[in-house]
Amino acid sequence: MNKIAIVFLMLISTLLITGCKAIQKENYSFYVGTYTKTTSKGIYKYAISSEGELKKIALVAETINPTFLAKSKDNKTLFAVGETNENGSGFVKSFKIENDSLLLISKEESGGAGPCFVALNDDNYIVTANYGGGNVGLLKTDTSGKLSSLLNVQQHFGKGSTNRQKAPHAHSAWFYPTKNELISVDLGTNQLWFSTIDKEKNELVLTNQKTLKMAEGAGPRHLTFHPNNKWMYVLNELNNTVSLVKEKDKNYFIASSVSLLPADFKSYSKAADIHITKDGKFLYASNRGHESIVIYKVNQKDGTLKTIGFQDVLGKSPRNFSLSPNEEFLVVANQDTDNIISFKRNAKTGLLTFVSEIAAPMPVCILF
């Protein structure tokens, strides 16, 4: 074989290997958290192909009501809440990620009843938002994924003006990406709660501002940070709005709010989840009742939102959704119709196109 032929074959081999790797990069697996009230056994693993087709892999952990999930940055450990109430507390569990299995490492109390959210920061602190307890639990994890016992509980107090707001209901807790700050979102007190972590005492300490009150009856639930880390978008479950929150002179304030629903829609609906694209150009949120994903275009100068469309989720109660790591797809968990839907996302327009549907038992969390 002459030198030209050898070089040609080497070139072809390199291109094939590179092409295969590129294809592999576009195939992603993800975990599905569920309610185990009906047929679900716990946490499941699914996959999405480079074309957006969904596939079930397996049940990877049997556990009660793993309604929210989070992963360590090294992708070696998965954390899941157990949304229960045993003697006034729920639980958080850690699992070792091993191929298509999750191996239980540890289980600890969350600090309050009905934990519905878990998150961790770069210092390996873990926070849980306990809806029933109206509080936030603080734990820590070591490099092996083993959880500490409960370190501290921040109890919220107060109430809002609706039937869902007669007591505190912590719904989520978010580590600010660029500073030592935790923002706890309490639907019941109708406030955002601002804290720092005292690393010597392992305690949550309220900042000088302490709280930010949302519009009466808003019922804040989740939030997302704009990539510029200057703006936050708070999803309000009860009055179906998104509020743009900014900071001035070290105090947060509500800059503007927009509706999550079409102007002519008058039926009951409640918002659930919110995510922004990595380029900060498009924001998405889910509506349970209108059964849709609302699509906003983000003004890059001031952060205001312009509604550009609504996508039917082809199911009921889109509790949670997620963008795929390459943001080519948006995957929705429809709690009340036991299905997961994938949509192809147009990066230029933000609009969504249906691709695939698959059965899943009472899915409420999607984690890539």
Which range, of 3-12, 86-95, 123-132, 147-156, averages the lowest pLDDT? Answer: 3-12
Categorize the per-residue pLDDT at 148 as very low, low, confident or very high, splitting at 50, 70 and 90.
Answer: very high
By residue count, the chain amounts to 368
Q: What is the pTM of this model?
A: 0.93
Is 22's pLDDT higher than 90? Answer: no
Categorize the per-residue pLDDT at 365 as very low, low, confident or very high, splitting at 50, 70 and 90.
Answer: very high
How much is the pLDDT for 10?
55
- Beta-carbon contacts of 260 under 8 Å, excluding residues fewer than 6 positions away, are 235, 240, 241, 242, 269, 271, 285, 287, 290, 294
- Beta-carbon contacts of 16 under 8 Å, excluding residues fewer than 6 positions away, are none
| Number of helices and strands in the chain (H, E) | 1, 28
How much is the pLDDT for 2?
56
- Residue pLDDT, tens place only, 186-206: 999 999 999 999 999 999 999
Supply 34's token pair.
């569920």
Instruction: Provide the 10 A C-beta neighbour count for residue 58.
Output: 12
The CA-based angle 318-319-325, given to 5 degrees, is 85
Is 3's pLDDT higher than 80? Answer: no
Averaged pLDDT, 131-146: 97
Residue type, 25: K
Is 15's pLDDT higher than 80? Answer: no
How much is the pLDDT for 11?
52
Count CA within 13 A, CB hemisphere, residue 208.
Answer: 4
Averaged pLDDT, 118-132: 98
Averaged pLDDT, 47-65: 98
- C-alpha dihedral over 53, 58, 60, 66, to 10 degrees? 60
Helices (H), the chain: 3-25
